[in-house]
Chains A and B, each alone.
Chain A
């Protein structure tokens, strides 16, 4: 028996196991519970690193068939089509899984300092949220995508309402669960349409059988709108500032990673499920949604007084950059011969920006969470002069704001430059809007920095606890590292991911053998 073969299943099963054991351990010892969650999260992180090594070494996507006599036998001997639950991991999925587990791990360390009451429930939900994210990214089965989307939605909604004493957090959670249920039902309906038409649930097998009939078009609209809604792009962004703004500090950061999981599902639907039969209006829609998100996110951020809501609107704008770049990449992918020109560059920029977005905005959320925890005040007009007492936090906030605004030499600059360069080839207007929004973002964040951290002391506060500081410093370190060596990350992580997306034939043949 070779345990390495079973890594994909174990990566989902181990956090699930830990999630169910946490409330039982919580009854006996609070310290033991924290240590237990930490150990199991670290174990999952190690397994993900091992799996990543496997995936990058092997040229074809790795498949794992649950319940089969051989983990790689995708099509059972008595059948002509894949019927079992199949996990399928290529470079793109593992890229997203690395983001999810890394961000959750840092969020966990950050949470140790301030989650005291109800910790058993908090960590259970936290682990379930991780399971939902990783499951969405590893699965090769459309129905399981829906199941993990539901796990993710319900656990995140409960975490958003975790500080239940404030009524606004409850309202945000209700809003989130309504939006999530609508999105999940869209996905379920689309899965039902596929099952009725092709008798298949496996993504690769459906892609292989895809005829692009009218039913497939309806399913495309349903899947597309569901995932765009869950990703929080502009016209459907109204749940996002509430949810991000009301969640506890670390949860806001992990919620960014959950919206990225929906973006991953969108990429999977566009590039693998429909691939070349996708109509050209889809990338055009994505570009429009991206521009709208950038514009609305930045302009709405200008008028906010609540520190976390402001950062949440900046997060909408950052998602806009990713969606814009993906739209341009998809446009190049569908117009034959143009993928080499700008498509690959745009996709690389967009996918690199997925990682950078969650680090940059995540760091801002962590610092904001620390400020709120220490001062119990979220209105920026009432805060001021915190740099006198919170030296490290203010420096970390400065790093975060420079990275979000895309200043060199930080990581936001590296990916935004790739995006500007490539979208310029489609239309210069896109680049102009993107750069202008970036400058506006810088001015907004300089304004917050000035109003919260500088000036005379108006509020008494101490430096944030050590666990919080540790989480923030790790993220700041990653931001600086990614900014100084972007080539290394692009070459080793992003390029394989983009190639995996573009070579959809390999993803399909790994399951169907065609």
Chain B
């Protein structure tokens, strides 16, 4: 258990950086409809935060704290949100994947060239969040499982 962990300095810095990386990831996800990046890129950044924890604290420790099933469930919820928002397009508006939030108070503004408010883009921000959840959950559990499997392979 102990030899998996890196030094105290690395662990302390990793604990400080973890929330900052997550905030950066959330920033990229939320601005997906306005700036370069989006759900996938932000999700990959978020999964890299988990990878940092694995490097610093060891795969066993992170697995005990996070549990692979929880990450998978998080991923599934992301997928579910995407599908439900898409199907809602049929019931609320006209067709599958219709942008039915345009003109509504939430996210209703159509972004223009240049600077636009965050509260715009219709269902796109929601879909970006869904993709972000899916990528964080999926990629983090893949990295975690690979780390655990490679540790077991060495023994």
Contact = CB atoms under 8 A, between A and B. Distances in A.
B94 interface: yes
A372 interface: no
A76 B136 CA distance: 35
B76 interface: yes
A71 B77 contact: no
Scoring B72, B73, B90, B96 by chain A CB atoms within 10 A of each residue's CB, the highest score goes to: B96
A376 interface: no
Contacts of A21: 76, 80
Nearest to A8: B96
A65 B91 contact: no
Given A1-B90, A13-B86, A27-B73, A67 B98 contact: yes
Contacts of A71: 94-95
Interface in B92-132: 94-99
A68 interface: yes
A284 interface: no
A24 B87 contact: no
Interface in A1-52: 1, 3, 6, 9-10, 13, 16-17, 19-24, 27
B76 A20 contact: yes
A66 interface: yes
A9 B80 contact: no
Which secondary structure characterizes the binding site on chain A? helix
Contacts of A68: 94-95, 98
B26 to A, nearest CB: 22
Decide if the interface of chain B is mainly helix, strand, loop or mixed. Answer: helix
A336 interface: no
A161 to B, nearest CB: 13
B45 to A, nearest CB: 22
Contact of B95 (A9, A19, A23): A9
Interface of A: 1, 3, 6, 9-10, 13, 16-17, 19-24, 27, 64-71, 85
A1 B76 CA distance: 29
B11 to A, nearest CB: 31
B96 A13 contact: yes
Given A6-B90, A22-B76, 10 more contacts: A6-B95, A9-B90, A9-B96, A10-B87, A19-B79, A20-B80, A23-B73, A24-B77, A27-B73, A68-B98
Nearest to B95: A71
Contacts of B22: none
Contacts of B99: 67
Contacts of B89: 67
Nearest to B134: A20
B148 interface: no
A169 to B, nearest CB: 16
Contact of A20 (B83, B94, B97): B83
B13 interface: no
10 interchain residue pairs of minimum CB distance: A9-B96, A20-B79, A17-B83, A67-B97, A66-B97, A20-B80, A20-B76, A71-B95, A69-B94, A23-B76
B94 A13 contact: no
A24 B87 CA distance: 20
A27 B69 contact: yes
A23 B90 contact: no
A7 to B, nearest CB: 10
A228 B83 CA distance: 32
15 contacts: A1-B90, A6-B95, A6-B96, A9-B86, A19-B79, A20-B79, A20-B80, A21-B76, A24-B77, A65-B95, A66-B95, A66-B96, A67-B95, A69-B98, A71-B94
Contacts of A65: 95
B76 A67 contact: no
B9 interface: no
Contacts of A85: 97
Contact of A16 (B83, B90, B98): B83
B8 interface: no
Contacts of B16: none
A68 B69 CA distance: 38
A82 to B, nearest CB: 14
Nearest to A19: B79
A24 B75 CA distance: 10
B83 A13 contact: yes
B1 interface: no
A16 B96 CA distance: 14
B123 to A, nearest CB: 10
Nearest to A67: B97
Interface string B49-86: 00000000000000000000100110011011001101
A154 B142 CA distance: 14
Contacts of B97: 9, 66-67, 85
Nearest to A121: B72
Nearest to B80: A20
A68 B96 CA distance: 8
Given A6-B96, A13-B86, A17-B83, A1 B91 contact: yes
A68 B97 CA distance: 8
B92 to A, nearest CB: 10
A23 B72 CA distance: 8
B137 to A, nearest CB: 11
A66 B94 CA distance: 9
> Of residues A16, A67, A70, A71, which shows the largest number of chain B Cβ atoms within 10 Å of its Cβ?
A67
A484 to B, nearest CB: 40
A73 to B, nearest CB: 9
B58 to A, nearest CB: 24
A22 B95 CA distance: 26
B95 A17 contact: no
Contacts of A22: 76
B125 to A, nearest CB: 16
Nearest to B81: A20
A70 B77 contact: no
